[in-house]
Structure 1
Amino acid sequence: MKYLLIVASLSIASAGVIKEEACDGVRINGTYYEKEIIKTDLDRPYLLTVDYSTNTLYFSYSIKSDEDIFKTARIDLDTNAFSDIDIVNGFAQTVDYEHQKVFIGSNDGIYKYDHDTNQVEFVGQRGSDIWAIYYDDVLYYSEFPSQFLYTLSNGTATRFKDLEDTKVDHFVTDGDNTMFYTNATGLFSQKKGTKDAVLIEEFPHNGPRGLTTNKYEDVYVCMRDGIYEVDKTQPSLKKIVDVDDCFGIAFDIYDEIIYADWKSLIRLKESDIC
């Protein structure tokens, strides 16, 4: 089974001290963002994704026990209302934006989740331990422990030919029909329909814990020490936010960054306070 090592004072002495304490957010490309704690007291929130049609964040987190047990949950990003989803060992989440469907991968296959009724429906791959899941033109998923990538269409699972000899940890696509994926070697990009992989960054030790795209389909990477943007022209990674023990990343309907550290979900909200 998978196991992921997935860790004010108040002062009125002077206005300068007060301002310094108030400005504990981050700057990205010259713009200041406040840190809003959406939810805390979670154990390693992971594999974040947002359904833009409802502005709902889906993610998994660990349940403390003798075994590795995970639970999928959701948060309404307009109200911060939190609720668990009734699925055993829900682990990976993705959204089909065109049809407004949410899919959840568990250690017993893939399910479809209905936001309005709060019900899950089995889709396929009974008995498979789903490691990663992503929707683009079809539903992509990888299994544990092989981490080979498959597509699931009309109930039929097929090894994805572009990456048939490659293990996949995290996987996204951008607006240029380019795949970005990670494995034990590093972060790669590869045009769909080809086998021409480009190594963007090698990871000799600790690799990414999440990939995502924003509304402009730029690619972002969550590493243990922070959030990085993929520069497709180089190609390379550019660090934009320092995070102590980052576990996941997503963007909400307003294109605000949401990220997870080892115990909390945090949103970066643009502000002119500093």
Structure 2
Amino acid sequence: MLTQAGVIREECNGVIIDGIYYEKEVLKSDIDRPYLLAVDYSTNTVYFSYNAVMNNDVLYKTAFINLNTKSNGDVDGVTNGFAQTVDQKTHEIYIGGSDGIYKYNHKSKKAEFFGAADTDVWMIYYKDSLYYSDFPKQFLYTYIDGVSTRFKDLEDTKVDQFVIDNEDMLFYTNASGLYAQKKGTKDAILYNNNKTVRSLATDVNGNVYVCEIDDIYKVNKERHALDKVTDVDDCFGLAFDNENNIIYSDATSLVRFKQSLNKDC
């Protein structure tokens, strides 16, 4: 039986992270490239996008799974729902589509157009205000009081993935690698020039994690480096539930590493 940290154990089908055993729970399978995960901690619901085929055309759809009840479904009313984020203070869900930003009400199951009209939204993130990037330019904007403004700290920088941590440090990726930059400055720190980063996420404490093709890492700000957390196979998306368990997606499934009390593993 393997005991090395972060190694998947065949007998138990889980992983050991920081000396704690986590079971591998498949939340949903047979979905095409679930991506850009976001969790509403108040309801413990994960939102994600996936590829859907309609009339021989490939479209993007936003879907959800309640991690407590396992109820799930699609979010209707969004044109090509691709990116999602949650304001954890108000528990409002924002979804980026191919024609702008929508706000989704989980209780009423309705999505209403919110702003950034005629914008093909690439990424979206909420931290004190709403941030988004567009496609194909991939420039970063803030959306405040109905107005979109280029984010001045990265005015001339393309942004693919991005998150903001618990100390207002913005982590972002582009074709050059993974960078960190304190909000209010233009001083970027290169963390990794690896081109295989597929997803960035913050946990419930605001710590930053990185999903590469076959590994999950935690950002180490003291060393300006990445510390490996565990192996995964073909990682696409990354998030954390309200108990700080890792959720990730591969090309066809949504998976959670859930802490277990199984003493035999």
Question: TM over 0.5: same fold?
Answer: yes
* Runs of 4+ displaced beyond 2 Å: 64-68
- Unmatched 5+ residue regions in structure 2? 1-8
Is 2:197 the partner of 1:208? yes
1:122 paired residue among 110, 113, 121: 113
Q: Which runs of 5+ in 1 are unaligned?
A: 1-19
Report the equivalent of 2:65. 75
Counterpart among 147, 166, 173 of residue 182 in structure 1: 173
Corresponding residue for residue 235 of structure 2:
246
Q: Which amino acid aligns with 1:231?
A: N
Higher radius of gyration, 1 or 2: 1
Give the residue type in structure 2 aligned to 1:153. Answer: I
Q: Which residue number corresponds to residue 272 of structure 1?
A: 261
Q: Which residue of 1 aligns with 2:27?
A: 38
Residues 57-108 of structure 1: CA deviation (Å, up to 9, x unaligned): 0000011465441100010010111100002210000011111110000001
* Cα distance in 2 for residues equivalent to 1:68 and 1:228: 31
Hey, what's the Cα distance between the residues in 1 that align with 2:261 and 2:81? 39
Residue 102 of structure 1 is matched in structure 2 by 93
Aligned letter for 2:51? S
Per-residue deviation, residues 155-178 of structure 1 (Å, max 9, x unmatched): 100000000011111111111111
In structure 2, distance between residues paired with 1:241 and 1:69: 32
Q: What is the TM-score with the length of structure 1 in the denominator?
A: 0.89
Whichever residue aligns with residue 125 of structure 1, its letter is A
Q: Deviations along 1:36-61, whole A, 9 cap, x unmatched?
A: 01000000100000001111100000
Whether the 8 Å CA contact 1:225–1:246 is kept in 2: the answer is yes
**Deviation by residue 1:129-164 (Cα, 9 ceiling, x = unmatched):** 100000112100000000000000111000000000
Distance 1:55 1:75 in 2: 9
Distance 1:226 1:82 in 2: 27
3-state SS of the aligned residue for 1:117?
Answer: coil
Give percent identity, aligned residues only. 56
The RMSD of aligned alpha carbons is 1.2
- Equivalent position amino acid for 1:53 in 2: S
Match of 1:197 among 164, 188, 208: 188
Instruction: Give the aligned partner of residue 13 of structure 1.
Output: none
Partner of 1:220, secondary structure, is strand
Query: Which of 16, 36, 43 in structure 2 is aligned with 1:47?
Result: 36
Give the aligned partner of residue 57 of structure 1: 46
With the length of structure 2 as denominator, give the TM-score of the two structures.
0.92
Distance of 1:116 and 1:178 partners within structure 2:
33
